[in-house]
Every structure is written in structure tokens, then in C-alpha cells.
Amino acid sequence: MKITAAKVIVCCPGRNFVTLKIETDEGLTGLGDATLNGRELAVASYLTDHVVPCLIGRDAHRIEDTWHYLYRGAYWRRGPVTMSAIAAVDTALWDLKAKAAGLPLYQLLGGASRERVLVYAHANGRDIAQTVDEVKRLKSLGYRAIRAQSGVPGIGKVYGVASGDKPYEPADASLPSEHDWDTAKYLRHTPRLFEALRAELGDELHLLHDVHHRLTPIEAARLCKDLEPYRLFWMEDAVPAEDPAAFELIRRHTTTPLAVGEVFNTIWDCKALIERQLIDYVRCTVVHAGGITHLKRIFDFAALHQVRTGSHGATDLSPVCMGAALHLDLAIPNFGIQEHMPHTAETDAVFPHAYRFEGGFMQPGEAPGHGVTIDEALAARYPYRRAYLPVNRLQHDGSLWHW
């Protein structure tokens, strides 16, 4: 099966997505997600200008070889742009191989290790009462695990909290919007949120929280200790992800489980965290961590060290990524949980898919490949719109902080 053509499709059905479509001489096509929120066109150019010319004529079945051809062959290894581009090729090739076999992708990854994929939903509200109501609403839809984020008194715009009635979507402006931050206010407020949630919802529901990289190690240790009575499923991105030593400090102080990895792009970003057992869940994704081939390598390595998976699944990862992720989730032995933020109706219409939500769990479906396609005519009706993630500044002196 030879690759005859490959093209990059950029569309914006409510938000931007970059999709790679690979065509073959056998008439089969494969799709990969290449979306990098706020830097979409860099990956589109990397693919169109530098990767696609190397793909034409290659054997589509040689997935591992193609991965190394693109990784080693670039000389300049790693980084989110390179690894998202490699991921798109890799995902499209797995899609093709599974279609050629006439099997859903999870069958090629070893078959199902479980019957269904546990997912967690996002609840947010401008205050504690509204967040509690939203958690109750999501629980009534069947979710067994819910991430809770709340507005903080005295802070204007907080990560994870929607403005108005719209679903939360961080890339909200054609130039970066400015948010404000005060760590002390956040540290006082967050334990109250989880105290209220446990009081109202009881012990059964899994509760999660995302700090979004905003604390120092000792502040994160304090928050994790304060939240111990509420038994979180995990605390996500408690500190900026680059520094394993920060996690060592947090670990010394608390038994709250730790999750990190949505910004990682290779195994080298999480190798020390995993082998030193400084985290409990690794959150790398198909799209930002080099595709199915590399993500499976990370997850297998994590399994050796009792680290489970919890792949990022925000709306800026396209349905193509979600479809591929669910096949991996179903197959790997050390799956933990999958993040699930539903896409808008416009996005779902552009990317028809076989996966479905069923009472707190998801299924990748039985369609050959990863089960996600693209309606190119519809996609063409939603041209790219420049959009950025916000920046964040400390309230007391305006210095730039982690968003």
C-alpha cells in the first residue's frame, strides 16, 4: 500500500483544527489530528512544506520506520510542533493499517483489555454553588468522575471557568486576552469548593481538579494536603511540568494522587517522573506526543512503574485524536481514565465518528480504523480564524505568570 498523496485540512467549526489526510494507491485514506492550540499554522506548514514531500511513494504499512524517519530524520528532535506533525502521520498510518485489515484499531493494539473506557467530565461555575449544581447535572448524565473548577472571589477570570452561558473554550480571542491571578485567594478558596462537593455529593463520585501549572512546589504541597480529606481522584498540573524535582517535593508532603503530561511531547519529558514514581497518572495525548506509536511506548513504560494513563481530551484535540485515544484506552493494560469535553455540534458534523458516550463511559466503536472521518466540503465552509490562549498576570504587580 503506497502513499500517493497527503494534504493538510485546516478548519474552524467553532474552533481551529488541523487534520492530515493520507491517500494510498489502494484507495484507502487515513486521518491524523495535528492541532496545536494557538500555534496551528506552524504544524500545518511543518507538514505541508517539510513532511508531505517525504511521504509520497512510501509504504503506508511501515509505521515504525516512518516514525523514526521523521523523528531521527529531522535531526531537530522533539518539541510540540515536530511531535504533533509526526503524530498526525502516525495516526493516519494506523488508521490506514486497521482499515486495510478491516478491523477497529484497538484490535491491532492487542484487542480490548476492558469493556468500556471510563471518562471524566468538566464542571465549572462562577462560584461554589454554581459549580456544585453543575457537578450534580453531569452526575445525572451518568458521569462517574468529574473535574471541578470554580471562580475565585477577587479574581477576574480563572482557568477552566466559562464566561456567560457558552461552554468553556480557552482560545477566546484573536490576540491573547489577559487574565489576573492571586495564589493566596485561590489556595483559600479551593478546599472550600471540595468540602462543599463532598458534603453535597457523598463519597462515591470521583472528583478531579486542574491547577493548570500555577503553583510553586510548596504551595502545591499545601493545597494537596488541604484536599486530602476530600479524596481526589487526582490533582492535575499542580506545578509547571518541566521540573521533576518539583514533584518530588510535593510527593514528600501528600498522598493526593498527581497527574501531569498534557504539555509533554515525548517520553523524555516524563521518563524521570515515571521511573521515580513521582506521578500517578500520565496525561500525554496521541496528538501532542508523537501519535499512537510513541504514546503506546510511554504508556508501556508507565505500566512498569505502576503509573496509569489519563489522556488529555480537551476540545482543542480534534475528534480524530479522541477516536484514536479511545482505541488505545480500550487496549492498554494500565489505562486509568480519559478526559472528555464534548465537541460542539458543528465540530461533530465536520468529523463524523464511530465513538459514543454511554452512561459515564465511552466506546471507540467497531468501524475499521479509528472510526473518525472528515466531511471536507463542510470543513471548507469554516475557514481558519486566528485564536490565542490567554496570558496570565499576578494581580499585585502585573508580572507575567503561568496561565
3-state secondary structure 297-361: HHHHHHHHCCCEECCCCCCCCCHHHHHHHHHHHHHCCCECCEECCCCCHHHHHHCCECCEEECCE
Buried residues in 180-214 as b, exposed as e (16+ CB within 10 A): bbeeeebbebbbebbebbeeebeeebbbbbbbbbb
Q: Closest CB to ligand EZ4 among 170 and 290?
A: 170
Q: Which does 219 bind (CB under 5 to 8 A by kind): Co ion, ligand EZ4, none?
A: none
Query: Active-site residue among 122, 179, 212, 370?
Result: 212
Q: Describe the chain by its helix, strand, coil percentages, rounded to 5.
A: 40, 20, 45
- Count of beta carbons in the 10 Å neighbourhood of residue 73: 11
At its nearest, how many Å lie between Co ion and the CB of residue 105? 25
* Residue ranges binding ligand EZ4 (CB under 6 A): 37, 170, 210, 212, 262, 312, 314, 316, 339, 389
Q: Which residues, 207 to 266, sit near Co ion by CB under 5 A?
A: 210
Q: Which residues, 178 to 217, sit near Co ion by CB under 5 A?
A: 210
Q: Closest CB to Co ion among 169 and 346?
A: 169
Q: Which does 37 bind (CB under 5 to 8 A by kind): Co ion, ligand EZ4, none?
A: ligand EZ4
Q: Which does 314 bind (CB under 5 to 8 A by kind): Co ion, ligand EZ4, none?
A: ligand EZ4
Q: Does residue 212 carry a catalytic annotation?
A: yes
At its nearest, how many Å lie between Co ion and the CB of residue 365? 26
Under 8 Å CB-to-CB from 398, ≥6 apart: which residues? Answer: none
Alpha helices in 167-243 (DSSP H): 183-201, 217-226
In the block, residue with C-alpha cell 506521578: 279
CA distance linking residue 158 with residue 52, whole number of Å: 40
At its nearest, how many Å lie between ligand EZ4 and the CB of residue 283? 8
Q: Closest CB to ligand EZ4 among 227 and 367?
A: 227
228: left (phi over 0), alpha (psi -120 to 50) or beta: alpha
Q: Which does 263 bind (CB under 5 to 8 A by kind): ligand EZ4, Co ion, none?
A: none
Residue 95 binds Co ion, judged by CB under 5 A? no
The count of residues interacting with Co ion (CB under 5 A) is 1
Calculate the CA 344 to chain-centre distance. 16
Query: Active-site residue among 71, 106, 120, 159?
Result: 159
Residues in touch with Co ion (CB under 5 A): 210
Q: Which residues are catalytically annotated? A: 159, 212
